[in-house]
Amino acid sequence: MRNIKKVHKAEYRPMGDLETWSPIPTRNLQMIDPFIFLNHHGPQVYPPNNNGLPFGPHPHRGMETVTFILDGDIAHKDSDGNYSVIESGGVQWMTAGKGLIHAEVSSEKFKKEGGPLEILQLWVNLPKRLKMMEPHYRGVQKDKISTWKNKEESITARVVSGSFRGIRGVFDTPTSVNLSLVHFEDDSKLEIEIPKSDNIFFYVIRGELEVNEINVPELHLAEFSKNDEKLNISSRKKSILLLGHAQPLEEKVVFGGPFVMNSEEEIRQAYEDYKAGKMGDWEQ
């Protein structure tokens, strides 16, 4: 079985009235290449006549955002002319590439009526050769997400990208990133194999899982070594796992707020290009 180096608890970083947990980057774990950032918002209940999500227009370059809507919704708009409202169970995938401006807010319906909200946004780094590719966005509702179930139907994987047990993900992506949301019922077991060369992203959203004889509680991320392919996962209670794996890029990573590039000079250029309107115009 693949060894676990350490289990990391997500850090609590509220954004005003938005409950937020972040397992990467933290003081103890900068990234799991190419997975570079995760914000876990909620779970919480918004009252009627709320302000919704606070993520108004902002730019990105050099990376991808993958947004999982467990509860609530997100209204996405960007400077390429894309607009969608994705509801509970849906996923958004945005490849920022050379740059665009987007906003992620709650729908007018959610702001008026309120309700439960839980959303995760994962940033996936792009390799140097793709950082300046054309931007792309796609939002997919729950009923269009590929699914895999075990024989007992006690485990359901919503396959977002790559593949899971032979089921292809709904998103075609520019790199070979595998991402699935795996739902476990009480006392269920799963054995999977992941190539030794891949880095694993293993974050327990809800519940509690045991993986390779190590307990991983809710809001914790397991950091793995690369000694073996096998993962034995068992649930003690209903649980949800964000499971990803990919080849590491092994390139220098420089963060500049919403930009992720390979050098400080590229970050400076990104800010200049944004100010010059090269990432698109924003029309309210």
pLDDT in tens, the chain (284 residues): 999 999 999 999 999 889 999 999 999 999 999 999 999 999 999 999 999 999 999 999 999 999 999 999 999 999 999 999 999 999 999 999 999 999 999 999 999 999 999 999 999 999 999 999 999 999 999 999 999 999 999 999 999 999 999 999 999 999 989 999 999 999 999 999 999 999 999 999 999 999 999 999 999 999 999 999 999 999 989 999 999 999 999 999 999 999 999 999 999 999 999 999 999 988 75
* pLDDT on residue 282: 84
* pLDDT on residue 140: 98
CA 254 from centroid of its chain's CA atoms:
19
Ordered DSSP codes for 232-279: EEEESSSEEEEEEEE-------EEETTEEESSHHHHHHHHHHHHTTTT
* pLDDT on residue 279: 95
CA 219 from centroid of its chain's CA atoms:
14
Q: Is residue 104 marked as binding?
A: yes
Residue 87, strand partner residues: 73
Domain-by-domain residue ranges, the chain?
4-275
| Multiple choice CATH, 4-275, 2.60.120.10, 3.30.160.100, 1.10.10.10, 3.30.450.20 | 2.60.120.10
CA atoms within 13 A on the CB side of 20: 15
* pLDDT on residue 284: 52
Q: Is residue 11 marked as binding?
A: no
Angle, CA 54 vertex, CA 267 and CA 66 arms, to 5° = 60
Handedness of CA 8, 12, 13, 14 (dihedral sign): positive
Q: Is residue 60 marked as binding?
A: yes
Q: Is residue 41 marked as binding?
A: no
Decide the pairing of beta strands 239-246 and 178-184. Answer: antiparallel
